[in-house]
Amino acid sequence: DQQVKQNSPSLSVQEGRISILNCDYTNSMFDYFLWYKKYPAEGPTFLISISSIKDKNEDGRFTVFLNKSAKHLSLHIVPSQPGDSAVYFCAAPNAGNMLTFGGGTRLMVKP
């Protein structure tokens, strides 16, 4: 039972364009969501989060949107840069701070 799903295993965009990464969840008890970024040979690093009381959170080039009725969130990166090439995971914690991750989306930003 995958409670958090990322249906696109990979995404390729041109430098300067927008990258949109999507994530769906099934557990309506989730009230906080995070995006992590992972480079090869490194652990995941926190990128941006959103609480279920909001529908948007912005941090520089990164914006996360939450649609609770659709149980869907998305990460927008504008403009995309080659250094953004990485695997992106969405995740949600349970009450005990234990994270459930999606399967990840590999983003490739072409110069």
Partner 1 sequence: ETGVTQSPTHLIKTRGQQVTLRCSSQSGHNTVSWYQQALGQGPQFIFQYYREEENGRGNFPPRFSGLQFPNYSSELNVNALELDDSALYLCASSLVAGSSYNEQFFGPGTRLTVL
Where along the sequence are the contacts to partner 1 (CB under 8 A)? 4, 6, 9, 32, 34, 36, 41-46, 49, 89, 91, 93, 95-104
Provide, rounded to whole angstroms, the least separation between the CB of residue 87 and partner 1.
9
Question: Residues 8, 97, 40, 5: what is their CA dihedral angle, to the nearest 10 degrees?
Answer: -10
Amino acid occupying residue 9: P
3-state DSSP assignment of residue 77: strand
Provide, rounded to whole angstroms, the least separation between the CB of residue 92 and partner 1.
9
Q: Which is nearer to partner 1, 28 or 111 (CB)?
A: 28
Distance between CA atoms of 18 and 81, rounded to whole angstroms? 10
Q: Which is nearer to partner 1, 15 or 22 (CB)?
A: 22
